[in-house]
């Protein structure tokens, strides 16, 4: 259960205690002190308008740039929680004398004029609850990845900030109080809307209250459509809402996380950290997201992502190559660079923009395209029913999967310095052909069904010959190899192996023995391009939980699942990695992979609804 999170006030909490808000176009992260510390414009992969999250030790200063703070003089206690079944964040701050105020933070989202209204806008509603707290509002956006403060101009009721996009703060608070960062008594509610550079021609307070009501209604209505498990409902709902916040609805893209460059583990002494930019659409991650949300009945995200995939497939070149990752606007070039204007999360740089993975060969993506798309041929809920032409458009993806199923790649773990024929990639190529056979049969295309089933059988024979290590009596992570990685646990999920197959049972046991560290799982144990892994990978721990259940060890699976729930932030979320001792989360946040694992395990392990009837 997510309870109201309460903390004593400190300068800047040194952990990933961050609360995301958003509307599937705009998003922001708010820290445990109620400060905006991360938000990009004009898109999730854009220049951080609020960059304090990566501001290093200077972020702890009261004069930190790249934040939007509402500082309470003499603050003694902060309590935060989301309004039920929404991403609307409520922060209550109490000062040493007992005066209290409330802040409601949200991004508007609701249906208007026959479409979803989701502007690049952030709304803060501040009201006194008891007494008249003295507050200071410090709004300090930055440009060019923290290089300098955004240029500002002042109007009678607004402030304009010029960055990669121009945003206007409209407010009924005294503008000079905000411009001068003057401390003043909060004696009545105030409204702040940071959004498009347009005049506000209505009563700002009444309009913001209406937007709050309609936004709250939208999210609660969406949650009401979900088929949640009986147990762990709050955790599942929070994960589902956050996965939706990680979509860029205009194009259908799903990003891996909202942040860049939060390191995978702690570093000291100026050593470079493992830092990556995750604000892009990995086809693998997106597949897992739509798979998880499908289990909850969220057809809207599936259908929107299918539009992204159709556009992507249409732009694939004559060679059939598909990148593992694209920009949210389908951009193929995500040139990776290091920016020296931000020191990094807690000073642990470098800060990266772009991701070199767009240059990789990762052959599992062909399977993930087909696995994401093929459900549409069987799903009668969708507005747009696919047809034979859609199937024909997918066949070149299958051709490419068949061509590459026994060729080396960088694997789903995106090794930068070595390649091999990875079993997971080959199994995903098999899945592409297998599912195309299913789709062809559904469409009544018997010749194409036989064609794709035949190709799937050829790939299966290759995998069972070359990925199976007879000496060790288990599958290996690479062809003709002897190593392990956690992705072998996915052979059951894609229906390549049955859970009770003795070969799969032996492989599950070997993976657990070789990669489990206490309650947590590694992706792999061998050193990679950057040394030995120093943290566990949360998604792999959820894979372990699934494997324990499928092996008949359900009580162990439930115990471990409850432990993972206890590792979440106060917002009820997870990042990518966790320290072996379980004390601290690391990696980009919120991580879609990790939230997918939470949803999948909850639906798998929960008691059925029939048990309460």
Among candidate residues 166, 202, 200, the one with its CA nearest the CA of residue 47: 166
Q: Is the pLDDT reported for residue 574 higher than 50?
A: yes
Give percent above pLDDT 70 in the chain: 97
Q: 136 - beta bridge partners?
A: 71
Render pLDDT for 186-215 as a digit per residue (tens, 0 to 9). Answer: 999 999 999 999 988 899 999 999 999 999
Q: Looking at residues 127-134, what average pLDDT do you find?
A: 97
Render pLDDT for 69-94 as a digit per residue (tens, 0 to 9). Answer: 999 999 999 999 999 999 999 999 99
- Quote the pLDDT of residue 11: 39
Confidence of residue 5 (pLDDT cuts 50, 70, 90): low
- Quote the pLDDT of residue 13: 39
- Quote the pLDDT of residue 128: 98
Render pLDDT for 218-243 as a digit per residue (tens, 0 to 9). Answer: 999 999 999 999 999 999 999 999 99
Q: Looking at residues 297-303, what average pLDDT do you find?
A: 93
Round the CA-based radius of gyration of the chain to a whole number and report it: 25
Render pLDDT for 495-539 as a digit per residue (tens, 0 to 9). Answer: 999 999 999 999 999 999 999 999 999 999 988 777 788 999 999
- Quote the pLDDT of residue 12: 37
- Quote the pLDDT of residue 9: 43
- Domain architecture of the chain: domains with CATH: 5-222 (2.70.98)
- Quote the pLDDT of residue 417: 78
Confidence of residue 1 (pLDDT cuts 50, 70, 90): very low
- Give the phi and the psi of residue 487 in degrees, each rounded to 5: -65, -15
Query: CB-based contacts of 494: which residues, under 8 Å, 6+ apart?
Result: 367, 371, 427, 428, 431
Q: How distant is the alpha carbon of residue 262 from its chain centre?
A: 13
- Quote the pLDDT of residue 370: 97
Maximum distance among all Cα pairs of the chain, rounded to whole angstroms: 79
3 state DSSP class of 450: helix
- Whether the CB-CB separation of 540 and 486 falls below 8 Å is answered with yes
- Whether the CB-CB separation of 171 and 205 falls below 8 Å is answered with no
- Whether the CB-CB separation of 388 and 426 falls below 8 Å is answered with no
Residue 489, both tokens: 């646990």
- Whether the CB-CB separation of 215 and 161 falls below 8 Å is answered with no
Give percent above pLDDT 90 in the chain: 88
Render pLDDT for 412-469 as a digit per residue (tens, 0 to 9). Answer: 999 887 899 999 999 999 999 999 999 999 999 999 999 999 999 999 999 999 999 9
3 state DSSP class of 351: strand
Would you call the peptide bond into 590 cis, given omega within 30 degrees of 0 as the criterion?
yes
Average pLDDT along the chain: 94
């Amino acid at each position: 259960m997510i309870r109201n999170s309460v903390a004593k006030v400190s300068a800047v909490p040194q952990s990933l205690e961050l609360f995301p808000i958003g509307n599937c176009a705009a998003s922001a992260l708010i820290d445990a002190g109620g400060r905006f510390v991360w938000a990009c414009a004009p898109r999730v992969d854009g220049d951080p308008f609020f960059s304090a999250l990566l501001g290093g030790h200077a972020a702890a200063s009261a004069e930190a740039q790249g934040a939007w703070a509402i500082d309470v003089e003499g603050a003694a206690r902060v309590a935060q929680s989301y309004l039920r079944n929404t991403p609307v964040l409520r922060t209550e701050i109490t000062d040493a004398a007992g005066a209290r105020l409330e802040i409601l933070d949200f991004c508007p989202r609701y249906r208007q004029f026959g479409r979803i209204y989701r502007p690049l806008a952030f709304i803060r509603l501040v009201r006194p609850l008891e007494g008249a707290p003295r507050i200071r509002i410090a709004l300090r956006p930055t440009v060019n990845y923290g290089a300098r403060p955004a240029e500002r101009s002042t109007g009678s009721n607004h402030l304009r900030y010029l960055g990669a996009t121009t945003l206007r703060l409209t407010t009924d608070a005294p503008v000079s109080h905000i411009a001068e960062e003057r401390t003043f008594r909060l004696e009545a509610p105030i409204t702040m809307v940071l959004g498009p550079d347009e005049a506000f021609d209505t009563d700002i307070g009444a309009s913001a209250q209406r937007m709050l009501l309609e936004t709250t209604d939208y999210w609660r209505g969406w949650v009401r459509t979900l088929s949640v498990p009986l147990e762990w409902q709050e955790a599942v709902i929070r994960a589902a809402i956050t996965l939706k916040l990680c979509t860029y609805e205009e194009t259908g893209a799903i990003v891996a996380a909202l942040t860049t460059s939060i390191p995978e583990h702690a570093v000291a002494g100026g050593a470079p950290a493992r830092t990556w930019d995750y604000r892009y659409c990995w086809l693998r991650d997106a597949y897992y997201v739509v798979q998880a949300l499908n289990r909850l009945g969220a057809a809207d995200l599936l259908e929107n992502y299918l539009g992204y995939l159709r556009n992507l497939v249409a732009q694939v070149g004559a060679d059939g190559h598909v990148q593992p990752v694209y920009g949210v606007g389908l951009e193929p070039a995500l040139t990776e660079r290091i920016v020296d204007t931000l020191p990094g999360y807690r000073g642990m740089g470098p800060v990266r923009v772009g991701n070199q993975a767009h240059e990789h060969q990762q052959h599992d993506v062909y399977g993930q395209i087909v696995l994401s798309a093929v459900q549409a041929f069987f799903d009668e809920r969708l507005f747009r029913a696919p047809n034979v032409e859609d199937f024909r458009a997918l066949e070149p993806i299958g051709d490419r999967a068949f061509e590459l199923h026994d060729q080396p790649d960088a694997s789903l773990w995106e090794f930068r310095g070595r390649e091999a024929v990875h079993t997971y990639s080959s199994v995903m190529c098999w899945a592409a052909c297998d599912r195309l056979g299913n789709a062809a049969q559904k469409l009544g295309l018997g010749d194409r069904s036989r064609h794709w089933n035949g190709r799937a059988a050829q790939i299966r024979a290759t995998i069972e010959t070359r990925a199976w290590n007879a000496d060790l009596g288990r599958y290996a992570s690479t062809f003709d190899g002897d190593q392990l990685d956690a992705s072998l646990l996915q052979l059951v999920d894609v229906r390549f192996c049955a859970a009770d197959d003795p070969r799969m049972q032996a492989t599950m046991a070997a993976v657990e023995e070789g990669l489990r560290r206490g309650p947590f799982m590694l992706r792999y144990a061998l050193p990679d391009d950057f040394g030995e892994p120093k943290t566990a990978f949360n998604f792999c721990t959820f894979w372990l939980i699934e494997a324990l259940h499928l092996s008949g060890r359900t009580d162990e699976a439930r115990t471990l699942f409850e432990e993972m729930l206890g590792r979440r932030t106060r917002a009820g979320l997870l990042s990518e990695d966790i320290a072996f001792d379980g004390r601290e989360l690391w990696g980009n946040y919120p991580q879609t992979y990790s939230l997918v694992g939470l949803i999948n395990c909850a639906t798998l392990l929960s008691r059925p609804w029939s048990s309460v009837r």
